[in-house]
Structure 1
Amino acid sequence: MATSVVLAAGVLTAATTASADDGPSQPPGTAPSASAPVKIDPKDPDLKLPEGATLGDPKVLDIKAVIGDEGGEERREDTNSDVKYALQAEVLFGKDSAKLGSGAKARIHGVAQEIKKEGSRTVRVFGFTDNLGSAAHGDVLSKQRARAVDDVLERELGDSGITFEVRGYGEKFPIADNATEDGRKKNRRVEVSFPRGNQG
């Protein structure tokens, strides 16, 4: 999930916000994972090290933990390097709207407190929609929703020197099947992600 992102942004004394159009074509963490392993024969002679060979340095695997609430309204993913919240649009906004609802600011406040706790210097706020309606409308709505969440985060975090990357991806990168209402509901989301423990 750790990625490098090139930003075209000026120097500001407060927080910096990246435009929705100047970033990567896909959000971090959406690259396809490796294919399923094949069954391995432990007696296969090719599994033995050749004469004089040594093993490479050990490395810590990036383990992901996913926690979701019962209603599926919020999901948190933790890895060794990043924290990502996926907040369902229905919890934050009215239907087809980018205006935050009454309970949205409390949820975003909780995310802001976690960002402070981790001491993160970069925060990514990405909006996504389902595939209903036109793709162009979804692109605009997802950007507006991401900006609405970003506005609250920036106010909550104050003059902290954090760089904010704000983008809308519309119906691209669904996390569930758009053929069902349950799946579409999961796809209508705003993701807030940030490095953990002063890693970025």
Structure 2
Amino acid sequence: EDLVNVAEISAATDSEGGAVEDIDSTPDTDDGNDAGGAVGTPSDDVTSGDGSGAPGDTDPNTDEDDADPALISIGEFDLALTKALSAGQEFMVMPGDEVSFTITVENQGEVTAANIEVTDYIPMGLSFSANNDGAIWTDNGDGTATAAIAGELAPGASTTLTILLTVDAGTDGEDLVNVAEISAATDSEDGAVE
């Protein structure tokens, strides 16, 4: 999203407090009536115009020099998560088998992401495996497990996590669905994101 911020000289006096007339502009508090100054055009950042132009025009010679806009662009924050059986993992499993899932987090936005946390919702019939990397995954003991992704994730980059779950006894013939989601993230400056 692009935002334009305008600053303007709204009033001025001489050194004794007396009224003065500016030779090439009219100071006021209306940011829409100043000649020239269209962002990114030849009239942007000009201080030598004569002030005779139309608001928002692009002619530097007629720019009014008591106001000027600045453009900032706010990048979009967009993380995506996909989850699948890990490569080589059999679809059909039996009680006691360990099942490997691969979770991929991709930064589809324009802003570097940090402090990314993934939560895995372990369904009835599956249990958190003791073979998980304890430096990555934490079993919360409430049917969820969380993983913190180390470092930052640049726009266009992705990272993967592997979680291991064990099939519980008594689940013969059942279909089990395991869901994960991105449960927390910030930008690279620890700022809140939407």
TM-score normalised according to structure 1 size: 0.26
Indicate the structure whose relative CO is greater, using CA pairs within 8 Å and at least 6 residues apart.
1
TM-score normalised according to structure 2 size: 0.26
Structure showing greater radius of gyration is 2
Which has the larger share of strand? Answer: 2
